[in-house]
Every structure is written in C-alpha cells, then in structure tokens.
Amino acid sequence: KQEVTQIPAALSVPEGENLVLNCSFTDSAIYNLQWFRQDPGKGLTSLLLIQSSQREQTSGRLNASLDKSSGRSTLYIAASQPGDSATYLCAVRSTDKLIFGTGTRLQVFP
C-alpha cells in the first residue's frame, strides 16, 4: 500500500531564505507526483506536476525534483517571502488514485 510522508510537519523561516520541503513515498511504481499549496480555510492550488519519466519541474521560484528509485521528491523554494506561508502537500498517483501526504506547514516571517 502506497504511503506518503512529509517531513517536517511545520517549518518557520525568515524571509529571503532558500528552503527545501521533503516528500517520501513507499512504492516507487508511480505515474506522477503533484505538489499543492493550501492556504488556511481554502482549497488546494496545484503548483507543479512531475511525470514519472521526468526528474524535475520548475515554475518561477519553485523547483520540484523526483527520484523514483529512492522514493523521494523535494520542493525547493527560492528567496522565500511571507506570501509563501501556507501548507504544502505532495500527492503521488499510484494506479487510479492520488495518495496525499499530510503536508508541511510553512511560515515565512518578515
């Protein structure tokens, strides 16, 4: 059974820092991995989607990497800003289902 883990559960950093969020999964037979952002009381916003054949995807200050063999993905946020404060979720597609991690709650303070 696929399990997705995100560590740390919470992270607090000063503005301007580059930071890395981690996501690990137990079964390397995946179709793709998706990173989401969730603001308090809101829905999920898709940030990046990495297909199983890809190694990384970039969007602005965000870069996500995927290492299927080791069951890991990282989300790199460059030059963090207070507006980046949110919960970041990763989700792995195995067969017909998207399996979610429990998220990393990020706070960026001025």
Give residues in contact with another protein (CB under 8 A): 4, 31-32, 34, 36, 41-46, 49, 51, 89, 91, 93, 96-98, 100-103
By beta-carbon proximity to another protein, the closer residue of 25 and 80 is: 25
By beta-carbon proximity to another protein, the closer residue of 45 and 58 is: 45
For 27, the token pair is 């079964």
| CB of 7 closer than 8 Å to CB of 103 | no
Q: Give least dist CB 103 to another protein, A.
A: 7
Q: Give least dist CB 89 to another protein, A.
A: 7
Look up residue 17 and give its amino acid. E
Q: How many CB atoms lie within 10 A of CB 46?
A: 11
Q: Give least dist CB 32 to another protein, A.
A: 6
By beta-carbon proximity to another protein, the closer residue of 41 and 110 is: 41
Q: Give least dist CB 97 to another protein, A.
A: 6
DSSP of 23-42: EEES----SEEEEEEE-TTS
Strand 86-94 relative to strand 104-109, pairing:
antiparallel
